[in-house]
Amino acid sequence: MRMQRQGGAAAFSETADAYQQTMAIALAPVAAEVVRRATLRPGESVIDVGSGTGNAAALAVGEARRVVGLDAAAGMLAIARRRVPDATFVEADFGALPLDDGHADVTLAVHALLFAEDRVATLREWRRVTRPGGRLSLSVPGPGDVVPSSVLGPVYDAYGIEWGDDYPSADDVVGWASDAGWTRLDVATDPAMGIPLADDEAFRTWLRVGARNRLTSSWEPERREAFARDLMTAAPRDRSGGYRLPFGAI
């Protein structure tokens, strides 16, 4: 059983509330850094691909900017529209965007590229909708030694789950972007970035997000509970006693 892309956009749509309570909070600092590095200017056209529940879009609105968030998960967009009424949200596959060439001055993508089957083709599509001389600011989780499976892997193995091993390195991201035609590339890493989960209830909510929920939905309740407890036993704790799963950011 492979977890990372199980169910795709539909899995995230079904579990959007759980995502908003856990992953959206965890990714807020990453979204802030992605937007900061984009150096947005007044009046620009901005697209946020893989917008999710709208973290980056919320930070991009203002100063007469025109912000469009795109995501294939309708449930996520329903939350984004409530959170960020000043942006426009469109249900779309980020690998085939329903936008004209050169639509945006700036393209943002917070941890979306990981879910692309062909990362170079997807980056090329994002370049198509960004005007010549425009900018792309993105993040991906990784590298692979600072993601949840680095500490939870033995539990996944015990339950016959393959997490997925295609988390990129900084060099991978630079190579993909270069192959897609992007130039003047700059990369930074934050291996200390993590997923904070305040208590057992928050941990269980995180387990209901996307692929994790889809993959275990057919299990008996007793097996799901045992899985959750084994994961919590393996998960590192923070100073407050809550959980903090490694995730990394590039």
Give per-residue pLDDT as tens, 66-89.
Answer: 999 999 999 999 999 999 999 999
Question: Is residue 79 within 8 Å of residue 27, measured between CB atoms?
Answer: no
Residue 42 is encoded by which pair of tokens? 């007044």
120-134: pLDDT as tens digits = 999 999 999 999 999
Mean pLDDT of 177-189: 97
What residues have CB less than 8 Å from 39, skipping those under 6 apart? 135
Residue 95 is encoded by which pair of tokens? 């690998």
What is the separation of C-alpha 236 from the centre of its chain, rounded to a whole number of angstroms? Answer: 21
Mean pLDDT of 54-63: 98
Q: Residue 54: phi, psi to the nearest 5?
A: 95, 20
Helix axes 221-234, 149-158, angle to 10 degrees: 150
38-54: pLDDT as tens digits = 999 999 999 999 999 99
Give the chain's domains with CATH numbers.
Answer: 8-143+164-196 (3.40.50.150)
Q: Which long-range contacts (CB under 8 A, 24 or more apart) does 155-163 make?
A: 155/227, 155/230, 155/231, 155/234, 156/3, 158/230, 159/227, 159/230, 160/1, 161/1, 161/2, 161/3, 161/215, 162/1, 162/2, 162/3, 163/2, 163/3, 163/4
Question: Is residue 112 within 8 Å of residue 57, measured between CB atoms?
Answer: no
Q: Residue 219: phi, psi to the nearest 5?
A: -75, 155
Eight-state DSSP code of residue 120: H
pLDDT number for residue 162:
82
SS3 34: helix
Is pTM beyond 0.85? Reply is: yes
Q: Residue 103: phi, psi to the nearest 5?
A: -65, -40
